[in-house]
Chain A
Amino acid sequence: MSAAPEVRSIRPGLYRVTVGNRSWEVALDMEPGEETIGVAFVDGATVPVRWEDPRRRSLVAAGVSLGARSGSVTIAAPMPGKIVSVAVETGAMVERGQTVIVLEAMKMESAIAAPHAGTVTDILVAVGQPVQQRQAMLRIDSGV
Chain B
Amino acid sequence: MFCRVLIANRGEIAVRIIRACHDLGVEAVAVYSEADRDALHVRLADYAYEIGPAPAAQSYLRADTVLEAAQAAGAEAIHPGYGFLSENAAFARACAAAGVAFIGPSPEALALMGDKLAARSLAAQVGVMTAPGTLEPVRDAGALAAAREIGFPLLIKAAAGGGGKGMRAVHSDEELIAALIQARSEASSSFGDGSVYLERLIERPRHIEVQLFGDGRGRVVHLGERECSIQRRYQKVVEESPAPGLPAGVRARLWDSAVRLAAAAKYGGAGTIEFLYEPSSGECYFLEMNARLQVEHPVTEQVTGVDLVQAQLRLAAGEALDDALGEHAIHSGMHAIEVRVGAEDPDGQWFPSTGTVQLLREPGGPGIRVDSACEPGLEVGVHYDPLLAKLITWGRSREEAISRLRRALDEYILTGVRTTLPFHRWLVRDEGFLRGDLSTAFIAERWRPEERAEPSSEEQRAAGAALKDQVDEQRRRRQATPAGNTIPTSVWRTAGRAEGQR
Contact = CB atoms under 8 A, between A and B. Distances in A.
A35 B294 CA distance: 40
A64 B411 CA distance: 43
A136 interface: yes
Nearest to B412: A44
Given A22-B459, A80-B382, A49 B464 contact: yes
Contacts, number: 188
Contacts of A15: 467, 470
Given A1-B459, A47-B454, A59-B495, A28 B425 contact: no
B332 interface: no
A77 B500 CA distance: 8
Contact of A67 (B186, B457, B479, B498): B498
Contact of B185 (A44, A74, A80, A84): A84
A105 B352 contact: yes
A13 interface: yes
Which DSSP category, helix, strand, loop or mixed, fits chain B's interface? Answer: helix
A117 interface: no
Q: How large is the interface on B (under 10, 10 to 19, 20 to 34, 35 or more residues)?
A: 35 or more
Contact of B457 (A45, A84, A105): A45
B487 A55 contact: yes
B352 A134 contact: no
B497 A40 contact: no
A125 B466 CA distance: 42
A42 B456 contact: yes
B443 interface: no
A19 interface: yes
A142 B465 CA distance: 33
A128 B410 CA distance: 42
Given A14-B359, A108-B233, 4 more contacts: A32-B355, A45-B454, A46-B454, A110-B349
Interface of B: 165, 182, 185-186, 189-190, 233, 345, 348-349, 351-355, 358-359, 382, 385-386, 409-413, 415-416, 422, 425, 454-457, 459-468, 470-472, 475, 479, 483-484, 487, 491, 493-502
21 contacts: A7-B470, A12-B358, A13-B359, A28-B467, A32-B355, A41-B415, A44-B411, A45-B460, A47-B454, A47-B464, A55-B487, A62-B484, A68-B499, A68-B502, A74-B500, A79-B352, A102-B182, A106-B385, A108-B190, A109-B185, A113-B349
